[in-house]
């Protein structure tokens, strides 16, 4: 196993398995990577559509969470170490409740976020819906959103009392209501609109802005 000094000095992708501490030492602010089964996984660049949908959701989450003083919203490339025997991922978006802010470290969150959003790219589809689904569930992430712009498909899951994810289904109006962020709701068709809905439009629908705002 490489020593910490060797990992830092190499600069290139570490070979073989390294510890999480070695991964943090190797990682720099210009590299977007995850740590899975002791190995480094470099993240691929995202498409323009992926960036648009992620930015749209990030704006909505941040405004809602800040308006209600609910906690903290972070986005890629900020890391999440799910647990001692679980990977360290870099979710597209995640939310942590105000009562759990003590788990933030300078460069990562040490535990399971309350809510995670992954915007799917073609190369990440199997991973987001398979490996990450399983590990987020195992870690106890209370709510998991999967948004697939290419296929125009959105899936929403909440952790059941049995510790397994169950789908969050839309209401009669086709609206998805978050179970973690009470009062936050979305219409999946928003994600496929060209252009995406304006932030002010959504905030008015949420009742956070008056009609004249």
Q: Which residue has the tokens 């003590």?
A: 102
Sheet strands (E) in 77-168: 79-81, 88-89, 93-97, 108-110, 115-119, 143-148, 153-159, 165-167
Q: Which of 41-45, 85-89, 93-97, 208-212 is predicted with the least confidence, judged by mean pLDDT?
A: 208-212
Q: Quote the pTM value.
A: 0.90
Residue holding tokens 């060797």? 6
Any residues with CB less than 8 A from the CB of 94 and at least 6 apart, and which?
Answer: 73, 74, 75, 80, 109, 113, 115, 116, 117
Instruction: Label the pairing between strands 71-75 and 79-81.
Output: unpaired
74-126: pLDDT as tens digits:
999 999 999 999 999 999 999 999 999 999 999 999 999 999 999 998 888 98
CATH of domain 45-206: 3.90.1570.10
Q: Domain ranges in the chain?
A: 1-42, 45-206
Whether 25 shows a pLDDT value over 80: the answer reads: yes
């Amino acid at each position: 196993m490489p020593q910490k000094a060797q990992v830092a000095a190499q600069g290139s992708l570490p070979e073989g398995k390294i510890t999480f501490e070695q991964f943090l030492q190797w990682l720099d602010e210009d590299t977007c990577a995850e740590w899975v089964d002791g190995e480094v996984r470099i993240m691929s660049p995202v498409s323009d559509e992926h960036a648009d949908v992620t930015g749209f959701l990030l704006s909505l989450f941040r405004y809602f969470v800040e308006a209600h003083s609910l906690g903290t919203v972070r986005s890629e490339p900020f890391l999440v170490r799910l647990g001692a025997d679980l990977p360290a991922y870099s979710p597209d978006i995640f939310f942590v409740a105000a009562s759990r802010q003590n788990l933030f470290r300078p460069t990562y969150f040490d535990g399971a976020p309350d809510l995670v959003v992954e915007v799917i790219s073609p190369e990440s589809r199997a991973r987001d819906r398979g490996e990450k689904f399983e590990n987020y569930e195992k870690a106890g992430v209370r709510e998991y959103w999967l948004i697939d712009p290419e296929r125009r498909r959105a899936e929403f899951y909440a952790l059941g009392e049995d510790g397994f994810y169950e789908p969050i289904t839309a209401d009669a109006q086709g609206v998805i209501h978050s179970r973690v962020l009470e009062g936050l709701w979305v219409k999946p068709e928003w994600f496929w609109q060209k252009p995406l809905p304006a932030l002010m439009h959504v905030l008015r629908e949420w009742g956070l802005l008056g009609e004249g705002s």
